[in-house]
């Protein structure tokens, strides 16, 4: 994560978890980046990432996705996996961030 910070790219993780749940996750895993809570899935809906009923007890959650946004608010890189088992690898995200940072 410090790699991203060195490049000047902030990282924000968004899910339907509440701030306290995210805080627990943060502390247990030692993450240092920003965790945002979207319990009503508003932002998730705006990005069209809603995965209806896929959460525990049938809650709506986000499907996994990553968006790299530049300082003007324009999207520069997206990763939307087709398969839940395949996530963007950190080096892929870092590569996209480096490309952005070197502009």
Partner 1 sequence: MVAFAVVQWSAFVTAPLKRRAQAKNMPETLPENTNAPDPAGPQSGTKRHPNAPLWIGFLVSVFAFLSYIPIFVKYPVTRDMPWASFLIFAIGLLFLFLGLRRAFRQPTVYRGKVAGPILTTLSVAALVFFCFTIFSLGKHLPASTQAPRVGQKAPDFALADTNGRTVSLATLLSAPAASHPTKGVLLIFYRGYW
Count Cα neighbours of 66 within 13 Å in the Cβ-side half-sphere.
17
- The kind and range of the H/E element at 20 are helix 19-29
How many angstroms from the chain centroid is the CA of residue 8?
17
Residue 30 beta carbon to partner 1: minimum distance, rounded to whole angstroms:
14
- Which member of 58, 71, 91, 92 binds partner 1 (CB under 8 A)? 71
Smallest separation, CB 91 to partner 1 (Å): 13
Angstrom distance (rounded) from CA 87 to CA 81: 7
Closer CB to partner 1, 36 or 91, in the complex: 36
Contact between 59 and 16 (Cβ < 8 Å): yes
User: What is the binding site for partner 1 (CB under 8 A)?
Assistant: 4-17, 19-23, 25-26, 34-38, 42-44, 46-52, 54-56, 59, 61-71, 73-78, 80-86, 93, 96-97, 100-101, 103
């Amino acid at each position: 994560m410090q790699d991203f910070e060195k490049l000047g790219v902030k990282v924000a993780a968004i899910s339907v978890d509440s701030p306290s749940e995210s805080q627990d996750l943060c502390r247990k895993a030692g993450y240092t980046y920003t965790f945002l809570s979207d319990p009503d899935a508003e932002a998730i809906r705006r990005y069209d990432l809603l995965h209806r009923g896929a959460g525990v007890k049938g809650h709506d959650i986000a499907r996994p996705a990553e968006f790299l946004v530049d300082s003007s608010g324009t999207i520069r890189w997206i990763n939307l996996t087709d398969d839940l088992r395949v996530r963007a690898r950190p080096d892929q995200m870092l590569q996209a961030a480096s490309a952005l940072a070197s502009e």
